[in-house]
Amino acid sequence: QATMGSFLRVNIWYEDLTAFLAKQTMPVLGALLNGQSVYATKIDQPSLLIIGNESKGIREHLLPYINQPISIPGNGGA
């Protein structure tokens, strides 16, 4: 509910993600369970971040485009 109206203020476009990633020159980070903690990762340039579905993760065919796996540790309590 916190983001209910926020999507109206964001530019959205549709594109073939595989083709989009194939032509990127900037780093592609992927949120993976075995990645380095985002808190320990140096991100010093514009980058793309791929975040997958909570239960299934990032789709298999997108994994080759990730050149820096990161993890986003939870704070617990939930």
pLDDT tens readout for residues 52-68: 988 899 999 999 999 99
* SS3 state of residue 36: strand
Contact 24, 46 (CB under 8 A): no
Using the predicted structure, report yes or no on whether residue 45 has a pLDDT greater than 70: yes
Specify the pTM: 0.78
Give the pair of three-digit tokens for residue 72: 């986003």
Contact 30, 69 (CB under 8 A): yes
Give the pair of three-digit tokens for residue 4: 């209910």
Tell which residue, 56, 1, 7, has the closest CA to residue 32: 56
Using the predicted structure, report yes or no on whether residue 77 has a pLDDT greater than 90: no
Domains of the chain: 15-71 (3.40.1280.10)
Q: Region 22-27: what's the mean pLDDT?
A: 95
